[in-house]
Structure 1
Amino acid sequence: MSDHDDQPLDRTVQERAAERTRELPGAELTHPFGPDWDVFKVRDRVFMLQTVVAGEAIVILKATPEDSRSLREAREDITPGYHMNKRHWITLHPGGDLEPSFVDELVTESYLLVVEKLPRSRRPVDPDVFAQPSRG
């Protein structure tokens, strides 16, 4: 047993990521792999997963291969996607300095990567204009 077994689970990153999904049109929480995995989908396509691995509450998100590589190189709290294609998915770990706005941005990007692959008729938003700053 490690010292971490007595520590409360840090779910800050998971909570922030889940909060952001509530703002995304068409996003839904499912449990196809059982109660230990929160799987977030848009139009039946996965864009985010959450689970606990080795005492860490992790978030797994889709990313472009370029972003995935640069994020992993720049940040210790971002690693290749757990149990996913390592080029197209990243894992966010708690305990680092992932700012809430940065988590929001990563969740939104993952969502949009999935939405842009959907047929236009199935897209809940236009990925080219969603989350763009309003001009006023």
Structure 2
Amino acid sequence: MNVEELREYCLTKKGVAEEFPFDANTLVFKVMGKMFALVALERLPPQCNLKCDPERAVELREEYDGAIIPGYHMSKKHWNTLFLENLPAKLILELVDHSYELVVGGLTKKLQQELHNSAGK
């Protein structure tokens, strides 16, 4: 999977915005103002950081040794870095969904309701 395919998929999610809050090379996807995916545009091979349940994060790192590592510049417990070229597209999309759902689940009830009521995606 390439970065543009990942970007397009992230933008299909309800309430998602993309921005560059850190620098011109780190694309961040947020749902209701909370990060769920970061993509390093200049890094080769292409990679992204996704939030993950801590237990599942460890399992994924073991199963996909070298292709999924603890989150670069992130909480190593709650974030993984994925090397996009070394993983099946289906797995990447599943992990984007997982990250999105974790972040939505952690939103306040008010923000969850706003997201639920929002029009569009």
2:77 and 2:55 map into 1 onto residues whose CA distance is: 8
Q: 1:66 to 1:13 in 2, by over 3 A?
A: farther
2:85 and 2:28 map into 1 onto residues whose CA distance is: 22
Shift of 1:112: 0.7
Code of the residue aligned with 1:108 in structure 2: it is D
The answer to whether structure 1 residue 73 and structure 2 residue 62 are counterparts is: yes
Deviations 1:97-133 (A, max 9, x none): x2222111100110110100111221224xxxxxxxx
2:110 and 2:37 map into 1 onto residues whose CA distance is: 22
Q: Superposition pairs for residues 106-121 of structure 1, below 5 Å?
A: 106-121=95-110
Taking only the aligned residue pairs, the percentage that are identical comes to 35
Unaligned runs of 5+ in 2: 117-121
RMSD: 1.4
Shift of 1:16: 3.0
Deviations 1:35-70 (A, max 9, x none): 1000110111110001133x3221100001001000
Q: Which residue of 1 aligns with 2:26?
A: 37
The answer to whether structure 1 residue 61 and structure 2 residue 50 are counterparts is: yes
More helix by share: 2
Aligned length: 112
TM score, norm. by length of structure 2 = 0.85
Q: Which runs of 4+ in 1 moved over 2 A?
A: 12-17
Code of the residue aligned with 2:59 in structure 1: it is S
TM score, norm. by length of structure 1 = 0.76
Report the structure number with the largest CA radius of gyration.
1
